[in-house]
Amino acid sequence: MHALKKNRPLRRIVLTSAATVSGVVLVLSLKPHTAPALASPAPSPSTGAVALPAPSGSASSGPATGTRTATGDAAQTRYGPVQVRVTVKDGRLTDVTAVTYPQSSPRDQRINGYAIPRLGSEALSAQGANIDAVSGATYTSEGYRQSLQSALDSLGR
């Protein structure tokens, strides 16, 4: 007997519904063609090598223009430590760089490649550590906030 025989309309409805649901699930599970750009530490201007982070919680003064830099304490997260370096010029937060963050697996690289730049932009916009978490990167976001606040505290902000 054929599965879609005309005298069994309920069977046709069930099979059609199952096929539609399967098709929708398949379409929604497709991955985008391009991966998001990965965040990476900024190269040193003189050698092109990756700059080493300053010791945890340290602060250094810049020239007489009022530029100060501090690296926050490394915040331990479920997937690894997160550490942030900040630069404050004339009382304004001008640069926020993640010097350490989880990147040991492709999944970490994908998530943090998306999250780290957004967290930096949020911090610059907010001029502080009162920033929203990035969806899908909750642990990194919390560690970023903690290290950012630690760096700002060491600068007296």
Q: Can you list the domains of the chain with their CATH numbers?
A: 1-30 (no CATH), 59-154 (3.90.1010.20)
For tokens 């005309």, what's the residue? 6
Q: State yes or no: pLDDT of 26 exceeds 90.
A: no
User: By C-alpha distance, which of 121, 113, 120, 134 is closest to 38?
Assistant: 113
Would you mind telling me the total number of residues written for the chain in this entry? 157
Check residue 86 and report its DSSP letter. E
Question: Which runs of E-coded beta strand occur in the chain?
Answer: 59-61, 67-71, 75-77, 80-89, 92-100
| C-alpha gyration radius of the chain | 24
pLDDT for residue 6? 62
Tokens of 78: 């479920």
Each residue's pLDDT tens digit, 72-125: 999 999 989 999 999 998 888 899 999 989 888 898 889 988 999 999 999 999
- For residues 113 and 109, give the distance between their C-alpha atoms in angstroms, rounded to a whole number: 6
pLDDT tens digits for 126-152? 998 888 888 888 999 999 999 999 998
Predicted structure pTM score: 0.59
